[in-house]
Amino acid sequence: MSIRDNLKRLLAPRHLAFVGGRSMARAFKRCADGGFLGQMWLVNPQHAELDGIPCVASVAQLPCGPDAVFIATNRELTLTCVAELAAKGAGGAICYASGFAETGEAGQALQEQLLQAAGEMALLGPNCYGLLDYLHNVALWPVAHGGKAVEKGVAVLTQSGNFAYNLSMSDRSLPLAYMASVGNQAQLGVAELMDVLLDEPRVTAIGLHLEGLKNVQGFARAAYKALEKGIPVIALKTGVSQIGAELALSHTSSLAGSDALYDSLFERLGVIRVSGPVSFVETLKAAACGHLPAGPSLTGLACSGGDAGLIADYAERNGLTLPALDEGQRGELAQVLPSYANLVNPLDFTTAIWGDRTALEKMLETALRTPSDAALLVLDYPAQFTGERKECDLLLELYCECLERHGKTGFVASAFPELLPAHARERLHAHGVPALQGVEDGLAAWGRIAHYRQRREALLNGGEAALSPVCPDAVLGSGRLLDEWQSKQALRPFGLPLPEGRLCRPEQALTEARSLGYPLVLKVVSADL
């Protein structure tokens, strides 16, 4: 089997093995408690059982080559174990141990040995937290995690195990299908994982938390594949500052690279770049249901003038338009809402009809006839002790039903992030309606997703996204600095737009200037400048 075939086994395993001590016994139990129904084995040569789980003495004694294995031993034993698993025909292994390429030259040599030992077996890591697979109830993970089984959702790839851990624990109800900590990317990196994950129809978006890319051309191919399939890719790129870049190198041996180059690469491939963890999660939530809006127009609904004002301001800031209500809609709304209601988009439907099922249904039916690409309801839940949450639940129920009747994409955002409780978020996500926390972050996230389709169409029609990026091989030995003229001539064949120019000696300057035409710039050519 090829590495790619074995990676598919790792991402949809029929059986699991855990190699290590008590932490692996606990990981074994978490998989069993989480609902994994396939065979599982705990491998430990020193114990007959750990925490009540029988141990297999060695990899050689396993009844078959497991589809997925978590190895939590020191780096020397990891090398041996990987070789034994590859010989056994295992699908893929996750190497938790550190002390490889991120530690310098000696560690790099060990990592090369690890790669050779793996052969065609898929290898994630080393120096990584592992893999959470909520489609198959698999947690190849050394500690507790906060996610749960989903029918579909986003895949997150990160170079930070702690970021992955914290994301799984976040109180944001992000529907996670997969989360992988890629570590040093000795064999499998972001590009290879993206390529296979894009073949899973239940993956609705891909999130990348990156320090740097090791395989730019492979990443470009995978990102273009995502563009063709209409699967948004959202990237949080760190290592922008000088100190951040140095930390990335020591953390996972990643070269962060020029931020301007990443910006250009992402722009060319339609990758949506975000600035921080909150915008990362909220943008992923906006895309997670898979019902992407066709464009940026929006119908806004709120039960207060203040919230309607926030919708208007943040919509404009994020390039979202608010189509006007027509005369018929205004007439119908006037029959339901009080005389002081301002009948515009965004609509403040006031609290006068709060809890009135009939009036709320009529208001929603009328407002959602607006020919917009999506609808937004801003709603904040009061504290549980107030006993007033049932009115909010009623509004969400009617809103979801009305969206479905109108065939309209919609989402909900709260003004304050903590005032959209988990039960409401889960109810909305069950209806395919994103539950975004914080109206400012929510509208920014929706703005990114709302412009995705149009940007995707332009990139596919333009054709540039399909081209392989130019990635010169590393120069062996000492390099040679080119002067400005030589540099421009080297770049011209790749399509870089350059001003017309002539290379000449001083005595030829006037003749060449007349040939070029004025105005012009006279520059000295020297590789020493």
462-to-32, 182, 325, 423, 459 alpha-carbon distances in Å:
49, 32, 36, 44, 5
Question: What is the pTM (predicted TM-score) of this model?
Answer: 0.88
C-alpha–C-alpha distance, residues 429 and 173, integer Å: 9
CA-to-CA distance for 118 and 209, rounded, in angstroms?
Answer: 26
pLDDT the model gives residue 395: 98
Structural domain contains residue 470:
no
* Residue 310 and residue 238 share a domain: no
- Which one, of 118, 188, 202, lies nearest residue 159 by Cα? 188
Alpha helix locations (H) across 346-438?
357-367, 389-406, 422-430
Single out the residue in 292, 316, 349 at which a domain terminates: 292
CB atoms within 10 A of CB 143: 14
Closest CA relative to residue 217, chosen from 195, 239, 196: 195
Q: Report d(CA 50, CA 66) in Å as an integer.
A: 20
Q: Is residue 465 part of a domain?
A: no
Supply the pLDDT for residue 473.
62
Both 112 and 196 in a single domain?
no
462 inside domain: no
User: What is the rounded distance in angstroms from the CA atom of residue 111 to the CA atom of residue 469?
Assistant: 27
Measured between alpha carbons, how far is 267 from 227 in angstroms, rounded to an integer? 12
277, 306: one domain: no
Q: Which of 450, 466, 499 is the last residue of a domain?
A: 450
259: its two tokens: 């931020």
The distance of Cα 33 from the centroid of its chain, to the nearest Å, equals 27
Q: What is the pLDDT of residue 474?
A: 55
317 and 415 belong to one structural domain: yes
One domain for residues 272 and 396: no
Residue 240's pLDDT is: 73
Does residue 143 form part of some domain? Answer: no
Whether residue 275 is found in the same domain as residue 317? no
> Which segments in the chain show pLDDT lower than 50?
253, 256
pLDDT at 128 (0 to 100): 95
User: Domain check: are 281 and 315 in the same one?
Assistant: no
Mark whether 57 and 179 lie in a shared domain.
no
Beta bridge mates, 301: 347, 377
Answer yes or no: are the C-beta atoms of 245 and 210 closer than 8 Å: no
- Which of 261, 265, 284, 253 has the alpha carbon at shortest distance from 465? 265
- Please indicate, yes or no, whether residues 43 and 176 belong to a single structural domain of this protein: no
pLDDT of residue 480: 79
Identify whether 366 is part of a domain: yes
Are 302 and 428 contained in the same domain?
yes
Give a yes or no: residue 136 inside a domain. no
Number of structural domains found in the chain:
4
304 plus 379 within the same structural domain: yes
Domain containing residue 26: CATH number: 3.40.50.720
Instruction: Tell me whether residue 84 is in a domain.
Output: yes
Which residue range(s) make up the domain with 24?
A: 1-127
Is the alpha carbon torsion for 145, 292, 194, 89 positive or negative? positive
End-of-domain residue from the set 401, 428, 450: 450
Does a structural domain hold residue 305?
yes
Q: What is the DSSP string of 246-261?
A: HHHHHHHS-----HHH
| Whether residue 179 is found in the same domain as residue 313 | no
Distance of CA 251 to the CA centre of its chain: 20
Q: What is the pLDDT of residue 275?
A: 94
What distance in Å separates the CA atoms of residue 426 and residue 175, rounded to the nearest whole number?
A: 9
DSSP class of residue 433 equals -
